[in-house]
Amino acid sequence: MRKLPVQLLSTVLWAVILLTVPTLKADEIELPEIGDHSGVALSPEQERSIGQAFMRRLRNSVTIIEDPEVATYVQSLGYRLVANSDNPGQGFTFFVIQDPTINAFAAPGGYIGIHSGLIENSQTESELAAVLAHEIAHITQRHLARAFEQRRRLSLPMTAAIVAAIILGTQSPDAGLAGLAAAQAGAAQLQINFTRSNEKEADRVGMQTLVRAGFDPFAMPAFFERLHQVSRYYGTRPPEFLSTHPVTSNRIADAMGRAETLNPHPVKDHLQFHLVRAKLQVLASDNHEQTVRQFKEALENGRYRNEAATRYGYALALVATGDSSEARRQILQLLKKDGDNLAYRLALARVEAAAGRFETAFKVYKEAQALYPNDYAVVVNYANALLQGHRPQTARDLLRRQIQSGVGTGQIYHLMAQAEGDAGNRAEAHRWLAEYHYYNGQTDMAIKQLQLASKAASNDFYERSKIEARLRQLQMEINAEEDS
């Protein structure tokens, strides 16, 4: 399926929000606590269900960066902010979408999407944290839940237009986008009127979270000001962040005023922020030779924000071009100064594996495991190397321990399927591939894989029963979606 623009998916999300909650009868309404208008429209459980459904559709429609080091970093940064928010017990999931535009968004259930372009264009870690703190505030203040109340104010033609646009979008992305553009025009003013106060509240609450987490509050107005200045060069197509988070002079002034009252201490960026930015530059590159030249010239001329991160990006770009010898030399230079740095150790192991020196790579991974037990990035990279080095049983055991610890992602499921397949376990390979497809919103494909798994396990009653129970569960979900 062709990948859909995030803006289209964002509009679909609003349509889902506006159409999901049934109209309550007068005698069914329970009075909420004073000040919590969201309690009537949407419970936290409903938010989580809608968020999970939206995420499964999102994974099936856009490219989410699965790189374990990028994923681990944004989760760590997000959790640091959440721990200092108004609701530290709220569950959150942070993820990065491969998209060069500057944007981020919040979805029901605590899902925070970050465009790769936002990370690459943030000049400091505090700027990135400021945007995340703002999006976290939308969730903790239950702004999306409150939006459900607006559903009752939509006219029937408006509702019909949005539904028609979504149906068209399932047949043709271009037709769906055109239909949504027409429907969105009518809903735009309603959304703007509702979200202006929410944006102001998210700025205020987000600023408090930012400071409590130890970041620079001046990063928020600085980021807004820079976007405001560069927007004039974009003509009729400003950065996407400005479309969903309008920046005005008053908003910048308000943010600056709040920052000046907080007396922040000097803040230094974490190295991992710069390393992730460098890695994203390599991941996004469609010309690795050119990327190598860019990093090399930056090192030679001293034009960089962080020398270690620039050298790290240079090494990763060299690996992508197949120059493992020079990449190894650059990484060893980094390790000489910072031998315990996990990113450098993983990069070295990747170089050794790329050069076919698997035993050396395995040794590096084992040492990293001893330093960072159960680390997600270590497990995923190590499992990949084990499969490349024809050690499927070891990879399977490593991945199984990760799943048993409660960590299950699409990447983990896909590696598990490959490990089971390489080990000759066809039924288990199909079963894990089914979980991979389900995770990515492809329920029909998941059902097909489970059917294949059931056939492959025909002589194993216990295994077949487990597979068929999961198959019935997914078929019930499909039937429920068709009936809704």
Please report the pLDDT score of residue 415 as a whole number.
98
Is pLDDT of 47 > 60?
yes
Cβ atoms 421, 412 nearer than 8 A? no
Binding positions are 134, 138, 199
What is the torsional sign of CA 36, 52, 111, 1?
A: negative
CA angle (116 as vertex; 85, 222 as ends), nearest 5: 60
Q: Which two tokens stand for residue 338?
A: 């910072």
Q: CA angle at residue 93 from 305 to 135, to 5 degrees?
A: 65
Q: Same domain for 25 and 64?
A: yes
Of 210, 208, 209, 198, nearest to 245 (Cα)? Answer: 198
| pTM given for the model | 0.81
**Residue 476 falls inside a structural domain:** no
* Alpha helix ranges (H) inside 21-152: 38-41, 44-59, 68-82, 116-121, 125-140, 143-147
So which residues are the catalytic ones? 135, 203
Q: Is residue 97 part of a domain?
A: yes
The candidate with the shortest Cα–Cα distance to 55, out of 120, 21, 89, 105, is 105
How many structural domains compose the chain?
2
Q: Above pLDDT 90, what percent of the chain?
A: 53
CA atoms within 13 A on the CB side of 431: 19
Q: Of the candidates 353, 368, 383, which is a domain's last residue?
A: 368
Number of H helices, E strands in the chain: 24, 3
Position with higher pLDDT, 252 vs 130:
130
Do 313 and 223 share a domain, yes or no?
A: no
* Domain encompassing residue 339: 280-368
Express each pLDDT in 104-161 by its tens digit: 888 878 889 999 999 999 999 999 999 999 999 988 887 766 665 555 454 444 433 4
The predicted pLDDT at position 22 comes to: 38
**Inside any domain, residue 453:** no
Does residue 238 sit in the same domain as residue 297?
A: no
pLDDT value of position 258: 80
Please check whether residue 394 lies inside any domain of the structure: no
| Coil vs helix vs strand at 323 | coil
274 falls within a domain: no
Q: Which amino acid is at 313?
A: G
Three-state DSSP state, 115: strand
**One domain for residues 230 and 299:** no
Q: What is the CA radius of gyration of the chain?
A: 24
Give the residue numbers of the binding site for Zn(2+).
Answer: 134, 138, 199
Residue 329's domain is classified under what CATH number?
1.25.40.10
